[in-house]
Structure 1
Amino acid sequence: MNRIAVIDFETTGISPSAGDRATEVAVVILEQGRVVDRYQSLMNAGVRVPSFITQLTGITNAMVATAPSAERVMREAAEFVGDLPMVAHNASFDRRFWCAELALAGQAAPHAFACTVLLSRRLYPEAPSHRLGTLVDHFRLPRTGQAHRALADAEMAAELLARIQQDLRTRHGVAQPDHAFLMAMQRCTRAALPTFMQARAKGALSSAAA
């Protein structure tokens, strides 16, 4: 099964190296363009939630205080993901927290991350911006809940990923836009993208004819 785990974190700041910690994580499993499973939890990392983060996300210190420990949540999230490849919107951010929080929980983080920001920049240069909410509205994708909460953002990122994979199939002739293809595509410059797409489509046709 060609499954992908789409993840989103809410955090106390932008950098785990500066002491910022996760306050919430959500993972949705996407299979053939459809969400088939979900995991979400607040987490208590023993740190204070700044007031500006509460204003942005609605996550309060009281909510975090009664949440399960960050270690427990991350172990559960890692078990939920297993060895699936991962995707996030602005993946460099989520990957940093995934690796940092798993390390604090004594877990390895071998997962490869594809990024829907990079992919959307390659495919949709005409979009008004490549923020998640803007792209969701641009393509009239469903808004599944409150923005800046982990599950809603993960589900919207999954909807965007499904749209990207659909457009790769229908507009660019990519028979199987799987995670390995997405990783290769996001490393491709925009100028080189047409050549990259043609080569992949030609390769798929050659394989089908063999």
Structure 2
Amino acid sequence: MRQRIAVIDFETNGVTPGRDCRATEIGVAMVEDGRVVDRFQSLMNAGVWVPPMIEQLTGISNAMLRAAPPAHEVMREAARFVGDTPLAAHNASFDRKFWDHELSLLGLARRQDFACTLLLSRRLLPQAPDHKLGTLTRWAKLPDAGRAHRALADAEMAANLLLLLGDTLQRQFHLADIDHALLCKLQKVTAAKVKPYLLDLQSRQIGSIA
């Protein structure tokens, strides 16, 4: 996969963004030419409280957030880092809503789509024991990126998974190029129709070359 894609992950203090539920950390792993080429990571102080259960899960304490830079500064820097680069995340519906919410507080709006490595892995790796990020990382023997449930480690694990999914597509279906637009289309195809969809795409690509 040659295209530049920004793979993001948020740690948060809850599941639905709002006044009392905000991002507490962001990680971005930038992939290009089949590898991670750049990274961005920061804690984010949005003035919210982290419950003990989430603090235990992530290791992000309220004291750490009090010492962190303001959320609006971090998010503005993250938005500059990403720019218009296509986006991806594992379980992207979660990260997308926090990305959109944090952008909206800056008066900004997302212009690019999200590819979802969770949806894609369900379609392309049905033989996996399950499709949690940690399980897939261990099952596929992908690099250990560090502690799970920290934003940059999870973003790097999702980035490595994204590259594996691209390699799987190229190896199994011999597609000329795997790009973000194809991934976004593929994740909307039902699992039963994935193989016919890709075989048809393969035949059209061969026909265009012939």
Instruction: Tell me how many residue pairs correspond in the alignment.
Output: 209
2:86 corresponding residue in structure 1: 85
Equivalent position of 1:102 in the other structure: 103
Q: Which residue of 1 aligns with 2:205?
A: 204
Q: Quick check: 1:122 aligned with 2:123?
A: yes
Report the aligned-residue RMSD: 1.1
Deviation at 1:45, TM superposition (A): 0.2
The alpha-carbon deviation at position 171 of structure 1 amounts to 1.0
- Partner of 1:25, secondary structure, is strand
Alignment match, 1:139: 140
For 2:102 and 2:108, locate their aligned partners in 1 and report how far apart those are by CA, in whole Å.
9
TM-score (norm 2): 0.97
The answer to whether the Cα contact below 8 Å between 2:35 and 2:163 also exists between their aligned partners in 1 is: yes
Q: Which residue of 1 aligns with 2:75?
A: 74
Query: 2:20 touches 2:48 (CA, 8 Å); kept in 1?
Result: no
Contact 1:75 1:107 (8 Å CA) reproduced: no
**Kept after mapping to 2: 8 A contact 1:88/1:115:** yes
The residue aligned with 1:61 is: 62
Where in structure 2 are the equivalents of 1:139-158 lying within 5 Å?
A: 139-158=140-159
- Give structure 1 stretches of 5+ with no counterpart: none
Spell out, residue by residue over 1:6-39, the C-alpha distance to the aligned partner (whole angstroms, 9 max, x if none).
Answer: 0000000111147310000011110122000000
Structure 2, unpaired ranges of 5+: none
1:176 is matched with: 177
Q: Which moved more, 1:101-110 or 1:82-91?
A: 101-110
CA deviations on 1:131-159 (whole Å, 9 max, x unpaired) are: 00000001000111100000000000000
Task: String of CA shifts for 1:20-67, please: whole Å, max 9, x gaps.
Answer: 100000111101220000000001001111111110000001110111
Dislocated runs of 4+, deviation >6 Å: none
8 Å Cα contact 2:26/2:42 also seen in 1? yes
CA 1:46–1:18 in 2, change beyond 3 Å: closer, same or farther?
Answer: closer
* Aligned match of 1:167: 168
Give deviations 1:64-108, integer Å, cap 9, x for gaps.
011111101110000000001100000000000000011112222
Which residue of structure 2 aligns with residue 13 of structure 1?
A: 14
Correspondence for 2:37: 36
Looking at structure 1, the residues matched to 204 and 35 of structure 2 have their Cα atoms a distance apart, in angstroms, of: 27
Where 2:189 maps in the other structure, the secondary structure is coil
1:27 aligns with 2:28: yes
Residue 52 of structure 1 corresponds to which residue in structure 2?
Answer: 53
Helix, strand or coil for the counterpart of 2:158? helix
Aligned mates of 2:127, 2:167 — CA distance in 1:
18
Return the offset for 1:177: 1.3
Percent sequence identity over aligned pairs = 56
Equivalents in 2 of 1:206, 1:195: separation in Å? 16
User: TM-score, normalization: structure 1?
Assistant: 0.97
